[in-house]
Chains A and B, each alone.
Chain A
């Protein structure tokens, strides 16, 4: 029968939901937290086909607001646009960075600094979409962000932990279409600490609502969940569509996250104080430490956000302060991953949505600047100790080797062992590749 394109995607979900719902209901006679639900998730995984995973995990350090390249990785000392920061030598001859990133200077051999990012979006929302999905917003198509794309490429054995975790991402994900876009909410990230505010807030970073409410014991929680599944069975049995499987999926995954083993991955109190100090007691520092724990548990994609880079005013003191937090946490992450033998298999991406104007404005600030800015890739899969491209002496233009958002994302895919040309079916009935096919990955570093 004739079906509109929008409905075609929905009916594929319909077909899948039949299998999962029946299997789930079969597995949950007398279900307990983790017990019968494990059976169901196993069936779900088996139905999905052979196991795959990218060859490397990824930690995305997302710098919200657009960090100033001229004051971090692409200094212009002596020029009027240069600002007050001094540039310091790194471990790699020929590469200098900001004096406020001394820890990272020791890791230059594992980092590739891309100084020739050049994009066209100067609006936060559009630029964020462009850099995080690799595509420009295009009418009805709901492009998924990189983390969701990677999550979809992982067919791991059912684990208590999700494939994509997003830490401190307040403001990144609005009320609208989820970050997973047309891939559907199964590939949306688990959000950690997204309600918290401020950089040096008191409390520990945690998954919101992961622990049972006060006064509710584990046996009581198990009994409630069992009663819920029995009570809903009749109603859900007679409803069709992806709403049913998504509802069951979400509850099953949530229950698994509550298991002691999974919950422990998110519990930073498990780490000695010395380690926590190494990352720094900022929320970003804690977030990077949590990322390391999740990487160790084979979560393929973790992003940690650090906001405050939108420095239209008072750029230098703010960037100095942010650099302090960033340098400590990022260096600690690199060292910690190396010590645990994980650096080779973990790609680290440092990026924001654009850079900042070389021209300093009357408020001692820098404004949005997508024409020439910097991104840093490091860790596994990257040939470090290199600079890619360069900007003009006044930092206004890219002199050599311009890199677009698709170029960058294609490079990231290759470093992770993923094929950027792989296709997913979108919500408009058109297949869309992981990365725009015009992308030219940066072969010098990957």
Chain B
């Protein structure tokens, strides 16, 4: 694609548009994807219908399926894409402004930045405060560079001053949880920063020069050295922190060898004995001219929304793993940096694109190559998304018992669902194990939800439409799959419900509900 053509397209897109900001960027996305599809002679899939799109946007932006009311209202809205203030654009803006969006964002990024919270019960205590901080910053649409700098450069006093307590009020915004969860270990902190903010898996190089990429052991430790001054006053993740700001060399792997802090692109550094080296690191990392940062973040957000990154795996940028659409990646990164790392703008641009809005139903195997974006990919649901969606479908409020965390009892219903079904963030497609299938088929959660004696949803559905099995069926489809049943489905289910004696009807309805909850269509983001 000649760059002058692209430049003119961008200019044309920017000039005189009455539609929302990011529309120009959305057009760039579609331009680049279309060009590649044309090269490969692949036809893109059709646009998703309203129900499919509403469900996908709700899951991606606010972390749950839509409610029955939300589905009915969106489907009933007569405006279409042809009008200038089309309903999909309004939906996207509404979801981005919803407080649930910030909470969903916080959960997704907590899983990336504090993965230890899932496996170490001590680190789980940091989770609410860390999420509170992330949600608050997202709600204010603070630039992502600012968020990362705040994360890395939390003020910490010198060794002979008052130490930084890492956990006081469990629910107060607490960015220092990041450093605390890694137990202030420079190697662990560096690994996480480099992976998440630069998109590079450098941890092999901790012990030896990287086997298949160009990173050396020295480079790895030169990043860790920025955190060499951190000290814990005590043991374990709750120990208060101090920092010797004048220290910026580090021992390699507990040997005698030392490495000084240095920036990866060789930019020279000046250290000030009174200022933490983390400030220099944070500033370089999030600088607009740092090519790694914008690309890594844009790629990860793209991967979250589109199911696969332009570089895949999303944190594995290397020469031997080039992007599938290099110009698109560059355009997105440049725009992100120029906008002040504006996340709302980035989300909006991707969601507005035709590529994002395609159906996931494919008619030809060619459309199935995920890296072409000819159709929307199937994405797994995180444990939180599944729990929140199940709660809506089943109609039961599983209350978070905040007090339980303090007494050490962490197995609330949400935790149970996350443990049994939670997708690993690294996963690019939904996985199902035999244990999960057994849980869905026979486990208590689903069986109580579908048993007419115990199920709030079944009782309520029957009560609302006592005489119309057809409307009962419709209600179940709306609450679970966020759509109306097709004619074929109505026939199939009617046949199943028809044979039953009136006394059996509620049990049969429970069977239908069981089927919907066990279906891939419910458990996937598609």
Contacts and interface: CB of A to CB of B under 8 A. Distances in A.
Contact of B519 (A2, A235, A253, A428): A235
B108 to A, nearest CB: 15
B434 A253 contact: yes
Nearest to A15: B365
A363 interface: no
B362 interface: yes
A191 B204 CA distance: 31
A154 B243 CA distance: 55
A157 to B, nearest CB: 18
B437 interface: yes
Contact of B321 (A4, A223, A242, A249): A4
A215 B452 CA distance: 11
A268 interface: no
Given A176-B426, A231-B489, A250 B432 contact: yes
B118 A243 contact: no
Given A209-B442, A213-B447, A238-B361, A4 B312 contact: yes
Contacts, number: 177
B258 interface: no
Interface residues of B, number: 74
Nearest to A245: B432
Interface stretch (A5-13, A110-118, A297-305, A393-401): A5-13
Nearest to A234: B488
A1 interface: yes
* Residue of B360, B370, B434, B519 with highest tally of chain A CB at under 10 A: B434
Contacts of A25: none
Contacts of B426: 176-177
Nearest to A249: B432
Nearest to B320: A5
Given A177-B426, A247-B432, A251-B437, A211 B442 contact: yes
Contacts of A174: 118-119
Contacts of B518: 228
A231 B313 contact: no
A188 interface: yes
Nearest to A184: B431
Contact of B431 (A140, A185, A213, A225): A185
Interface string A202-244: 0000011111110110001101110110111011101111111
A48 interface: no
Interface residues of A, number: 64
A223 B507 CA distance: 12
Contacts of A235: 519-521
B426 to A, nearest CB: 7
Given A188-B433, A209-B441, A232 B521 contact: yes
B101 interface: no
Interface stretch (B270-278, B388-396, B416-424): B416-424
A3 B371 contact: yes
A241 B368 contact: yes
Given A178-B431, A191-B435, A221-B441, 12 more contacts: A1-B369, A5-B321, A176-B118, A185-B433, A188-B434, A207-B438, A213-B447, A227-B496, A227-B511, A230-B492, A234-B489, A246-B430
Interface of A: 1-7, 10-11, 14, 18, 138-140, 162, 174-178, 185, 188, 190-191, 207-213, 215-216, 220-221, 223-225, 227-228, 230-232, 234-236, 238-244, 246-247, 249-251, 253-254, 257-258, 428, 430
